[in-house]
Structure 1
Amino acid sequence: MAILKCTSIDSGTGFSLSEDMLTEIILRLPVKSMARSKCVAKNWCAIISDGYLRRRLPLHLSVVYFPDNPARGNAPRFACAASGDSHLLEDCDLGFSPFREGDVVCDACNGLLLFRSAGTPRFYVVDPVTRRWVALPRPSRDARLSMLVFDPFSSRHYHVINFTGWHERGAAVEVFSSETWAWTARDVEFGVPASSLSAASMHFHDGAVYMLASDPHRVVRMDVAPDAELACTTVELPEPMDGGDGRVAHSGGQLHYVTRDGGLLKVWVLEGQWRLKHAVKVDDVVEGGCRGSEIRFLALHPEKDSVYMSSPWKLVEYDLTKKEITGAWEFGGKDQTDEKNRVVKTWLVPSSWYLSDSFASGHVQC
């Protein structure tokens, strides 16, 4: 913070920095120092909050996981990749939040968590980094399945989608918008049997939810737009999911389909039609990968050809072009030695500190 102190001089001194110079300084600060820098001056706050700076920030890795340790209970954990040269995933305490034993973590999306209070239809959206949370208004119907959709690159608003009843080829849906602060009831037709959809494969990108269907084998795209119908389109998959083990993700703005074929991890990209982009041995990505269910695909890097996969003890980044491991993180904490963990969500966003924009509506409970 030494640089910040020497530049936080009022305008009466005649000393100032251009916005370009301030931006370059801020980009080199640790995330927490950057957040505190909003208090230096109004122009610092404006630059830090600006979308241009946000797009230039390095991406930070965060995960939601469950430790396989009865002594610690079955509560979810949130962790971020440690700063500097550390190769640890550091836990972030969720004690500030309304989460209680028996509550359910319904979903997580790009830095925000969705909790549901046990035995009730009450929902909470939680930002584990800025330690803020909001209680959502009560929906009119109980949810069969809930998902949180949020894209910090394009909007500070988020949606919660409750599937409240299933039809043969569709569903009854309630959608909450943080912009209108209200739930809206809708019906959606998927274009495939509702029973064939995989909830585990749901993925949100640029205003649309993507889901995989197994019968027939297709990607279903459902548009999520304010005051509009949840229109759906489908695209046939290049090959069937192996035992339902398939995922969709975006990288470089293009839709990708990731699946396992025995000991191979295959990555397809949609370019008008599907093209097999990469095929690598799972054992090359995570040692012991061919042993199956404990090795999980988590995410694609949003900008480069890298895949993130986890074993019970660590998470790795693998460069699909260079065919080499470019990052590895272990779960931190003295009480986590030799402890198995199950990662359920992974994301990379510029900085979760910016997610506080999503709680600017005044409905905040800290």
Structure 2
Amino acid sequence: MEEAEKGEILEWNAKPSSMEEAEIFERNTKPRLDDHPQATTAGATSLFNVDLILEILSCLPARSVHRFKCVSVLWRDLIADPANHKKLPQTLAGFLYTSFCSNGYRHHFAGFSGGTASFDPSLPYLYPNKDEGITQVDACNGLLLYRRYNSSRHDYHFVVCNPATGRWVEVPPQPQKPEPMNRLNHTAGLAFDPAVSSHFYVLCFERTFPKTLIAGVNIYSSRTGAWIHRDSGIVEKATLFRSKCVFVGGMLYIMGNVVDTNGEYVLVGVDMEGKVWKTICVPYGSKFGTIGLSQGCLHYAIASVNNNNEILVSEIALWCLKDWDSKQWVLKHTASINTLMSMTGEMYRVVEIHPDCDTIFLAQCGGDTLMSYDMWHQKVGCIINLERNSAHKFLPYVPLFSEPLADAEG
């Protein structure tokens, strides 16, 4: 299983890396009647097997659970049964994204292997009034962050929801501050770790105007039900991008740009109390990539494309930050996608990183295709056709069935 643990593309029909290993696992976990004389009927034995198998599977990583669908028909049905989802860990199901049409923005779900969402991607219960709408902001461990706006009043506020359960929480408005007037809300992120707590945080960064430097952050805690404000604690003069946020190790990270170092790209991180701030230089400091949480560590992926004498040269690099204190990135994989680009005649950009393995997702520049690329095996996986005129911002969705939202509506 070593090779699979290093990184493999996950598909619903993926086979175990070793069928012999899977058969041994099934044989060793199946109870024998000699060991349980009280289970004398076939029905009791079957029920005992099901309970034991579910208990074992609930302790495994999500990628192993889906790989073990191939052990037997019984295991396949147990893992695929929606009634067991609350007991089993979940992996990445797909992405939420939007497209633009004459009537405004429409919300969609892009699932793997043709899978569809178990909920309405437009989440109509978040905006019951015709004058309201929602825009995507962030996703974190099964929870989604949206801005709900009112076109008639020209105001907005944040909403956090769990599509798997249909429950949602309306975040109270941020406190109005008369001074300083040169600060504007720039971008927001969601911080949530169900392994630590059922409570979540919403962080809204502020920037100065017109210089767009990081000024501070407003932090909402579902535990306290209130906002707090903290001024920026970083020494460097840095701007922020409207990019995705990543929550890991109690810190929320977002891409930034240091003004005094010829535009060097960095990660800007802040803790949930707004007291600890840090900056981390990223590989290829002069080039912009994407960040993601994968296998418990912060990852950085970048596609470097050059056009030299009409010859397209493209390399994708995947880096991992394992040591927070040293801030040293480890290069995990590089891969060339010349063949792919020569076949399609299109260029791609990295938009997401799989949370369970070394697989990245690339969106077609100017097109309507999203594809997965297994960096470990250097193979193209699923290719997903998107709606036309899609906005290439994708919220990764991992179903969360076990955690309620405190004081949730719905």
Distance 1:329 1:88 in 2: 10
The letter of the residue matching 1:299 is E
**What CA deviation, in whole Å up to 9, does each residue of 1:80-137 have, x standing for no partner?**
526xxx4255563422222756634251213313223232243222223322222222
Which residue of 114, 121, 128 corresponds with 2:163? 128
What residue in structure 2 maps to residue 208 of structure 1?
A: 251
Contact 1:80 1:92 in 2 (8 A): no
Alignment of 1:306 with 2:359, yes or no, is yes
What residue in structure 2 maps to residue 40 of structure 1?
A: none
CA shift, 1:268, in A, is 2.3
Contact 1:191 1:232 in 2 (8 A): no
Contact 2:363 2:369 in 1 (8 A): yes
Alignment of 1:87 with 2:124, yes or no, is no
Which residue of 243, 255, 264 corresponds with 2:315? 264
Contact 2:160 2:170 in 1 (8 A): yes
SS at the partner of 1:92? coil
Alignment of 1:30 with 2:73, yes or no, is no
What residue in structure 2 maps to residue 158 of structure 1?
A: 200
CA shift, 1:247, in A, is 1.6
Contact 2:352 2:361 in 1 (8 A): yes
SS at the partner of 2:218? strand
Relative to structure 1, the CA distance from residue 96 to residue 116 in structure 2 (aligned partners, 3 Å threshold; closer, same or farther) is closer
CA shift, 1:64, in A, is 2.2
What residue in structure 2 maps to residue 343 of structure 1?
A: 392
What residue in structure 1 maps to residue 93 of structure 2?
A: 61
Which residue of 259, 278, 283 corresponds with 1:233? 278
Relative to structure 1, the CA distance from residue 76 to residue 296 in structure 2 (aligned partners, 3 Å threshold; closer, same or farther) is farther
Alignment of 1:183 with 2:222, yes or no, is no
The gaps in structure 2 that reach 5 residues or longer are: 1-40, 59-64, 66-77, 177-183, 306-313
Distance 2:90 2:409 in 1: 29
Distance 2:54 2:116 in 1: 30
Relative to structure 1, the CA distance from residue 284 to residue 101 in structure 2 (aligned partners, 3 Å threshold; closer, same or farther) is farther
Distance 1:287 1:30 in 2: 38
What residue in structure 2 maps to residue 38 of structure 1?
A: none
Share of identical aligned residues, percent?
21
Matches within 5 A, 1:349-364: 349=398, 351-354=399-402, 357-359=403-405, 361-362=406-407, 364=408
The letter of the residue matching 2:358 is D
Distance 2:173 2:302 in 1: 38
**What CA deviation, in whole Å up to 9, does each residue of 1:13-45 have, x standing for no partner?**
99674853443588734363335xxxxxxxxxx
Distance 2:246 2:48 in 1: 42
**What CA deviation, in whole Å up to 9, does each residue of 1:160-207 have, x standing for no partner?**
112245388642322111122111122222333233x22315322232
Count of aligned pairs between the two proteins: 313
Relative to structure 1, the CA distance from residue 21 to residue 66 in structure 2 (aligned partners, 3 Å threshold; closer, same or farther) is closer
Distance 1:148 1:365 in 2: 18
Q: Which is greater in Rg? A: 2
The letter of the residue matching 2:114 is H
SS at the partner of 2:409? coil
Which residue of 216, 223, 246 corresponds with 2:289? 246
Distance 1:154 1:284 in 2: 44
What residue in structure 1 maps to residue 237 of structure 2?
A: 193
Which residue of 140, 159, 164 corresponds with 2:175? 140
Relative to structure 1, the CA distance from residue 319 to residue 165 in structure 2 (aligned partners, 3 Å threshold; closer, same or farther) is closer
CA shift, 1:316, in A, is 1.9
Contact 1:306 1:318 in 2 (8 A): yes
**What CA deviation, in whole Å up to 9, does each residue of 1:211-264 have, x standing for no partner?**
223334243342323xx333112222232243xx31222323333222222122
Distance 2:368 2:254 in 1: 28
The letter of the residue matching 1:304 is C
Distance 1:284 1:203 in 2: 31
Contact 1:106 1:147 in 2 (8 A): no
Contact 2:265 2:286 in 1 (8 A): no
Contact 1:64 1:76 in 2 (8 A): no
When normalised by structure 1's length, the TM-score is 0.72
Relative to structure 1, the CA distance from residue 172 to residue 302 in structure 2 (aligned partners, 3 Å threshold; closer, same or farther) is same
The letter of the residue matching 2:377 is K
SS at the partner of 1:297? strand
Which residue of 264, 274, 293 corresponds with 2:329? 274
